[in-house]
Amino acid sequence: MDENGSVSTTNIVKTLLELKNGMTAQAKEIDELKRSDRKIVAFMAQLTKHMVNPPQHTVVVFDSVLTNVGGAYKSSSGVFLAPVNGTYTIHLVASSTPKTSSEYLHLYIMHNMLKVGYIFLDQNPGRALIRSTSIVIQLRAGDTLFVKIGNPNPRGTLYGSNFHTVFSGFLIN
């Protein structure tokens, strides 16, 4: 304001230029975000058939794919192939039919060939059992994640159908 209390033309022009520069910077940032190679990756697949006394090291193939944004889960092999570097969250839900107290069934979440998570479906006579686990993991493009039977001489039935055994995950960032 000048000495008469009115807004000067210089101040108005200065304010307008500041607003224009701010809008130009925001438009540039929006364009950069649109051009970035950020991907959306998410999958969810369920086991539809029971696996009775599956041999050790068997890869569990979750054959019914419900979500596969980015196409990274391969239902023919049961393998999730990370399409981009990033942090992912992975979930495994597994269920078994009732077993005798001497029957053990272990599932491992594998990152490439390294065990990074597990579920033990052990000793559940007289009742079905459902368990779940989640991991947050840093993956590089091309890394694999899959679920395999882990214990020697596994006994019991991994329950397939009706979302009893599900493998899912998504890219956080």
CA distances from 74 to 32, 36, 43, 112, 144 (A): 32, 26, 10, 15, 10
Domain regions of the chain by residue span: 1-36, 42-171
CA atoms within 13 Å, Cβ hemisphere of 101: 0
Cα radius of gyration (the chain):
26
Tens-level pLDDT at each residue, the chain (173 residues): 556 656 678 888 888 888 888 888 888 877 665 665 568 999 999 999 999 999 999 999 999 999 999 999 999 999 999 999 999 999 999 999 887 777 889 999 999 999 999 999 887 778 888 999 999 999 999 999 999 999 888 888 899 988 999 999 999 99
Q: Would you identify the CATH topology of the domain 42-171?
A: Jelly Rolls (2.60.120)
Selection from 130, 87, 76 nearest residue 111 by Cα: 87
